[in-house]
Amino acid sequence: MKPMILALTLAAVLPWSARAAEYRQVRADQSAITFAYQQMGVILDGKFSRFTAQLNFDPTRPEAAKATVEIDLASIDTGSTEGDQEVAGKTWFNTQAFPTARFETRSVKALGDHRYEAAGQLTIKGKTQDVVIPATFAAQGQTGVFEGRFTLRRGDFAIGEGAWAKFDVVANEVQIQFRITANSGE
Amino acid sequence: MTPGYTPVAKALHWLMAVLLLGLLALGFIMTDLPLSPQKLQLYSWHKWAGVTAFLLVLVRLAWRTTYRPPPLPDHMPKMMQLAAHAGHALLYLLMIAIPLSGWLMSSAKGFQTVWFGVLPIPDLVGKNKELGDVLQAVHETLNLFFVVVLIGHVGAALKHHLIDRDDVLTRMLPVRSTEK
């Protein structure tokens, strides 16, 4: 009789869980935003340790998905204290005047095979650019993981002005990589 | 006149003399600069030159095993000869240990060395801030010690030339002096 009970329970629960499979509770401890860039041919990386993300994502209705990510730029870890202090300054992020970087989706497109594309606006240092960010989504039970990477040009956001505005030492391209973990349900 | 050094040994000696003095000067100057693109550029150049010096010292040691340096003059007391050999051994030891400590420091600090911006030198240790700070202190201390040993080296060469009036200094010159 036991398998029967299990089947009945599943039948009762499944439709409900399918409706409720909207991933919206971001797990900060299991999420990460990192970046990589080139400095005179050397690949360097770093991370942002503080950021918040609000998202509504239902795999059955991806086009209705919404996401907003805000990064506390002062939480940057460039790998050296000197570097962290430098990029907080006026010529880089100017975190006093522009403490956060913000990404907000405008539309989300399913590409199939768990791949998605989020088009939206990225605002850093008071400058807003349209960007398209590719991401994959993998769910395991109540936990869903979004992963992706995209390249931004720091010059588009005036990140690194004055002596840093040239790209011969610190490259223009910065690769942003993210892993956002979110739970579904309550 | 004692037998001389091979032209290759002389070339390596003077090439490294110029390179190492440049590296020392660059090293002391760049670390005091405020962060700027120029500073990062100087750091890269210092690391490229350091890798080059490390390779040159290996070539030099290999050369030395095949073509032995000329013997020290007979007038030198045994103790002084021993001191001269010990001094040279110390120079070689430092010429190996210093670039190694710099290489390890770069790795530990998470700034890989890419020779001339083209050839990545493998990281022997992973990123580790504490280890990086220790290696930085080691690199600095070894260099200060190197400066002291270098002063001894130059001082000894000058003493041979000016006081002993032997050919220990002149036999290392690119073209052996003939004015005496």
pLDDT band at B179, cuts 50/70/90? very low
Inter-chain residue contact B109 with A80, CB threshold 8 Å: yes
> For B26-39, what is the mean pLDDT?
95
**Which tens digits make up the pLDDT trace of A90-110?**
999 999 999 999 999 999 999
pLDDT at A14 over 70: no
Q: Is the ipTM of this complex over 0.85?
A: no
| Alpha-carbon gap: B112 to the closest alpha carbon of chain A (Å) | 6
Of A43, A79, A169, which is closest to B40 when you measure between CB atoms?
A169
Phi (first) and psi of residue B33, to 5 degrees: -75, 145
Residues forming a β-bridge with A150: A176
| Alpha-carbon gap: B114 to the closest alpha carbon of chain A (Å) | 6
**Which tens digits make up the pLDDT trace of B109-133?**
999 999 999 999 999 999 998 999 9
Inter-chain residue contact B127 with A42, CB threshold 8 Å: no
pLDDT at B176 over 80: no
Interface test with A, best of B45, B112, B131 (most A CBs within 10 A): B112
CB atoms under 10 Å from CB of A18, counted, come to: 11
Of B36, B109, B117, which is closest to A40 when you measure between CB atoms?
B117
Which residues of chain A are within 8 Å of residue B112 when distances are taken between CB atoms? 42-44
pLDDT (0 to 100) of residue A83: 92
pLDDT (0 to 100) of residue B4: 85
What's the whole-model pTM score? 0.83
